Every structure is written in structure tokens, then in C-alpha cells.
Amino acid sequence: MAEVSADLYVEVLRYYAQQMSLLDAQDIEAYVETFTEQGVTHHVHRGQKLEGRAAMLAHARQALPRYRGVVVRHWNDNYLMNEADDGSITVAYGSLVTLTEAEGIVRFESTYAVTDVLVRVDGRLRARSRTIVRDQPAAG
């Protein structure tokens, strides 16, 4: 594993700016396009694995009503990036999710540790996998 170049670091920041904007706009068709066709999302804390864009899309459509009445935003920070010999990039970061209600009232939906593997398809970065772990204090 090697550190990515400054140019690639910025390209990855832009990938997330784009992807998170689509997610927060609930443009789920465009959002799943930021994954590879066979891309996988794994919500570890609820033991849920979605394999392929079609499965992600079906799940997202089912989840949308949960977010009626709020505007969702993802705030990510501290992106760690490493490039493997095959060119794939592992990106680990923290994510804070806000839910803004009418009148500007802000609620918070946990913080998360996310680890993605990005690959280049036809010149553009896409996520091959995403692993999401809700922050959970150690027992004791």
C-alpha cells in the first residue's frame, strides 16, 4: 500500500463531494452510479450487505420514507487514502449525519467509521465496496 499523490488525493475529495451531494439530494439513481455495477455496501452494525446497484437501489427506495420531513446531510472528515498495487484505493474516514427539520432544527444520526475501496472505471472513480460501522462505545 502506498500514499496517493496530491492530485489523486484531490480527485478523491471531489469524488466524495459529488457522491455525498447526490446522496443528500436523494438522487439515488445517480448515487448508485457512483458505485461499480457489482458494488457492495455493508452496514456492519445492522448486519446488512447489499450486492450490486440494483439491490442498493431497491433498498434506498424502501428507506426514503424514513427521511420524509427532514433534509439529510453527510459531513465527512479525516480521509485516509492508500493505493494498492492493482490501483485500487482504500479510503477510510469519519462521517457525521445531520437531519434538519422544519424551522432549521438540527438532529444528529450518530457518527460512523466508513471504509471504501475505489477503482477506476472508464477513467472515473467508482466505489467497489463500502463498509459502514456505526460508532459504538467499547463495552465496560
27 grid coordinates? 438522487
Distance CA 91, CA 49 (A): 19
3 part of the interface to its own copies, by CB under 8 A: yes
Distance CA 43, CA 134 (A): 8
User: Which one among 92, 117, 119, 132 touches its own copies, defined by CB under 8 A?
Assistant: 92
> Shortest distance, CB of residue 17 to its own copies, whole angstroms?
4
Q: Alpha helices, DSSP H only, in 1-140?
A: 6-24, 28-32, 53-63
**Subset of 45-64 contacting its own copies (CB under 8 A):** none
Strands 48-51 and 71-83: unpaired
> Shortest distance, CB of residue 51 to its own copies, whole angstroms?
25
The contact set with its own copies (CB under 8 A) reads 3, 6-7, 9-11, 13-14, 16-18, 20-21, 24, 68-71, 73-81, 92-94, 96, 98, 100-102, 104-106, 108-111, 134-138, 140
